[in-house]
Amino acid sequence: MNPDSNNQEKLTITWQIIPTKVVELKEWGKNPRKLLDTRIADLRRSIEKFGVAEPIVVNVDKTICGGHGRKRVLTDMGVKEVDCYYPSRQL
């Protein structure tokens, strides 16, 4: 067995989209982005007009990696479920 192929398998990630309840999504405490009210309002208008164009990216434990603002807007809008990108392994 080639040791490089084993390392390559550990690095390979596949993604799948899975509908997830918004209330199950966990905020990542170290999110560096500030959710300013003006940006949240802009995001809400965009979601109302176009829908959620990009699924929320989460880790296998449902911790948000990308999409904290979308989660906040969807929660405020009363949306119950959203498509999320899930990795094939823990990030």
Tell me what pLDDT residue 1 has. Answer: 52
Q: What confidence category does residue 8 fall into, taking pLDDT thresholds of 50, 70 and 90? A: low
Contact 60, 89 (CB under 8 A): yes
Give the dihedral sign, CA 54/71/31/65. Answer: negative
- The end-to-end CA distance of the chain, in Å, is 25
Residue 3 reports pLDDT greater than 70: no
Listed in sequence order, the residues at least 6 apart from 1 whose beta carbon sits closer than 8 Å to its beta carbon are: none
Number of alpha carbons in the 13 Å side-chain half-sphere of residue 80 = 0
Q: What is the pLDDT of residues 31-86, one digit of tens each?
A: 877 888 899 999 999 999 999 999 999 999 999 999 999 999 999 999 999 999 99
In degrees and rounded to multiples of 5, residue 83 shows phi and psi of -70, 135
